[in-house]
Structure 1
Amino acid sequence: MARLPGIASSGVSPLVFTLLLGLMVGNLPLARRLSGVAPGLQFATRWLLRSGIVLFGLSLTLQQIVGLGPAIIALDVLVVSVVLVTGYLIGTQILKLDRDTALLTSAGSAICGAAAILATESMIRARPAATSMAVATVVLFGSLSILVYPLIYPLTQMHEGLFGIYIGATVHEVAQVVAVGDAIGPEALTNAVIVKLVRVMLLVPFLLVIGQWWHRRQVRDGEFPATRGSLVIPWFAFGFLAMVVLNSIVALPALLHQGLVTSGQITLAMAMAALGYETRLEKLRALGIKPFLLALMLFVLLLIGGGLITPWLMR
C-alpha cells in the first residue's frame, strides 16, 4: 500500500497502514471474541518490536556520523533534548495529559517518528491507545512537513546543503525526510538523510536515560516495587548499536543487507499492527484533542526553533 503511485512519493510509512489495518480489525465485533490471539499480540509487541529496532541499525554507519563533523551531533542533541523536555513539560503540566501520551508524542517528534514511539513504548509499556495516538500525531505533522518545507525554502535564504541539514534535524520520520529532501535537491537530500540518521542514533542514549528515569518514577509513585540496585537496561538498544557498528566495518552482501533491512521493516509493521489491534476507538476518543495540540506546538518549535539554530550552529 505504501508503494502505490501517489502514496510512495508522500513519505507515508508502511507502519501507518499496518496501524490503521490493525485498528480496523481490532474494533470489529468479531475481534472481541477472539481471546486466543493474545499470545501472538504479546509476542509481536514485545519480541518482534525489539527485533525490528535492532535491525533498524543497519540503516546507519559510523562513517556517516563522522563525515559531517561534531557540529551536526551538537545540533541533533540540542534539538532532541529541547523537544523532549519541552514536550513532556507542556504535555503534563499545561495540557494535563497522562505521562505515557506526553512522553510518546514528544519522543516521536524529537527523534524518529513511529520507530522512536515503538521503542519508547517497549520501555515504559504504555497503553496501546496512547501509542496509537502518538503515531497519529507524527503522521499528521510529519506529512504537513512535506508540504511546508519546500514552500519556506526560498524564504529562509539558506543554501541547499544547509537547508538539507535543517530538514534532517527537524522533520519527524526518515521517509518524510527523504520526501522533503528530494523535493529540494540532491545535496539537500544527502545531508538531510545523514543528519536524520544521526538523530536516529540518539535513540540509544535516550532509551538508557528514560529507562532509569521511568523506573524511579514508578518506584516513587508506588507503581512498581523498589529493588536494591535495580537497573533498567534496554538490551535491544545495544543490539541496534551493534548493527550500526557491524554495518560500519563489514560490507555485507547487498542481497543479505537488503533482506535484513526488509525483515526489520516487516517485524516493526507486525508490532504496529498488534498495537493497533489492541487499541479501542473509545479510548482514543477519550484522549481528545490535547495530544494533537501538543504535537502542533512541537511542530512549530521544530520549524521555527530549528530554522533559527541550524544556521547559527553551522556557520
Structure 2
Amino acid sequence: MNTLRQHTPGLLLVLVLALGSLHAAALPWFGQLGLSALTIAIVGGMVLGNTIYPRIALPSHHGVTFAKGQILRLGIILFGFKLTFQDIAAVGISGILIDACVLTSTFLLAFWLGRRKLGLDEQSVILIGAGSSICGAAAILATEPVLKAHAEKVAVAVATVVVFGTLAMFLYPLLFSLVQTLGVSEFAYGVFTGSTVHEVAQAVAAGRAVSEQAATSAVITKMIRVMMLAPFLVILSTWLARRHQSGSSEAGRITIPWFALGFLAMAAFNSLHWLPQAWVAQLIALDNLLLAMAMGALGLTTHFSAIRRAGSKPMWLASALFAWLLIGGTLINSGISYLVHQL
C-alpha cells in the first residue's frame, strides 16, 4: 500500500498528460501535421517539466520513474499488436530487403557521421540514428532503456524526428507529382514513403496525400520497418555489452532486452488472428495510452537548458540522415525493385 501511495501522484500526472495528448492527436489540425500522441506527449511534458513540475517533483518522482521504465517496456511489448506477419507478405521480398537496407545504411551512416565527423556523444548518435532509421519516437523510446540514456538526449532525438519527419510529409507528395510522369506507380511511391519517412503517422499522411493505395503500401512497408526494431535492439544490446565490457571481469555478459522479444511474440500471436478484432483494437488503444504516458514522463524530466547545451550538432546529423533517406532511399528502392523483378 505504501508503494502504491508513492506511485499514485506521478502516475496520475502522466495519465492525464497522455489522455490529453491522445485527444489532441485525434483533432484534424494535428492529424494534418502528422503529429502523433507520442510527440504531443513529450512536448506537453517538457512544458510542464520546465514550469509546474519542479514544484511537485518530490511526490511525483516514483510514479514518473515507473512510467519511464516498466510502463514503457509494457507499451513496447503491446506495440506488437499493430503488426502481423501477413503484412510482410503484402509487399513481398522487395519491401523487406528495401527496409533492411535503408535501416542498416541509415544507422551506420548516423554512427559514422555523428561520432567521427561531428564528435557527438554515443547515446545521442544511437538515439538519433534509431529514430531516423526505424520508426521515429517509438524507436527512440525503445532504445532508451537499452542505452540508459538521459531524458534530455531522448528529447533532442525526438525533436529531430518531428522536424524532418514533418518536412518529409509535405515534401514527398510534391516530389511524386514531379516523378509521376516517369512512370513511378502509387504503390512504389508508398513503399518508398514507408521505407524512408520517420514516424508511422507521418508515413500515413504522406501516402494519403497521393492516394489510398499509396497510403496502404506506405503503412505496410513502414510496419515492416517497425518489426525490425526487435532484432535491432538485440543486436545493439549485444554490441554494447561486448564493446563496453571488453577486458573486464564481466566481459561477454549480454543483457537481452526481453521487452523487444515480447514485442515480436505479440506480433506473432497477432498473426494467428485468435483474438477478435474488437479486442485487438482495445489492446492497441491501451498501448497508445501506455506509450504516451512513458513519453510524457520523459518530457517531465527533460530540462530546456540541457537541450540548449546539446547545440546544433544533433540537428546537423539529422539533416544529413534526412538527405540520405531521400537520395539513398531512392537508389535503394529503385535498385532492389529492379533486381527482384529481374529474378
Q: What TM-score, normalized to structure 1?
A: 0.95
- Residue in 1 aligned with 2:7? none
- Residue in 2 aligned with 1:250? 273
Distance 1:240 1:226 in 2: 32
Matched, 1:218 2:244: yes
Matched, 1:259 2:282: yes
State the Cα distance separating 1:174 from its structure 2 match.
0.5
State the Cα distance separating 1:32 from its structure 2 match.
5.2
Alignment of 1:114-193 (within 5 A): 114-156=137-179, 157=182, 158-193=184-219
State the Cα distance separating 1:214 from its structure 2 match.
1.5
Distance 1:30 1:180 in 2: 36
Distance 2:134 2:230 in 1: 11
Amino acid in the other structure paired with 1:185? S
Going from structure 1 to structure 2, the CA distance change for 1:155 and 1:309 (only over 3 Å counts) comes to farther
Which consecutive unaligned segments of at least 5 residues does structure 1 have? Answer: none
Q: Which has the higher contact order (CA 8 A, sep 6+)?
A: 1
Which deviates more from structure 2 when the two are superposed, residues 52-61 or residues 67-76?
A: 67-76
User: Does the CA-based 8 Å contact 1:162-1:311 persist in structure 2?
Assistant: no
Going from structure 1 to structure 2, the CA distance change for 1:23 and 1:137 (only over 3 Å counts) comes to same
- Residue in 1 aligned with 2:291? 268
- Residue in 1 aligned with 2:81? 58
- Residue in 1 aligned with 2:91? 68
Distance 1:177 1:95 in 2: 29
- Residue in 2 aligned with 1:300? 323
Q: Residue by residue, what CA displacement relative to the aligned partner does 1:205-240 show, whole Å, maximum 9, x if unpaired?
A: 1000100112233324x9xx6425512111111111
State the Cα distance separating 1:31 from its structure 2 match.
1.2
- Residue in 2 aligned with 1:88? 111
State the Cα distance separating 1:190 from its structure 2 match.
1.2
**How large is the Cα RMSD of the aligned pairs?**
1.5
Distance 2:217 2:187 in 1: 6
Amino acid in the other structure paired with 1:213? W
Q: Residue by residue, what CA displacement relative to the aligned partner does 1:67-121 show, whole Å, maximum 9, x if unpaired?
A: 3222211111100000000001101111111111111001000000000000000
1:22 to 39, 42, 45: 45
- Residue in 1 aligned with 2:125? 102
- Residue in 1 aligned with 2:227? 201
Which consecutive unaligned segments of at least 5 residues does structure 2 have? Answer: 1-23, 339-343
Matched, 1:79 2:105: no
Going from structure 1 to structure 2, the CA distance change for 1:226 and 1:134 (only over 3 Å counts) comes to farther
Distance 1:267 1:96 in 2: 34
State the Cα distance separating 1:10 from its structure 2 match.
2.1
SS in 1 for 2:120: coil
Identity %: 42
Distance 1:230 1:37 in 2: 34
Q: Residue by residue, what CA displacement relative to the aligned partner does 1:241-283 show, whole Å, maximum 9, x if unpaired?
A: 1111111102422221111101111111111111111111110
Distance 2:194 2:28 in 1: 25
Q: What TM-score, normalized to structure 2?
A: 0.88
- Residue in 2 aligned with 1:8? 31
SS in 2 for 1:68: helix
SS in 2 for 1:48: helix
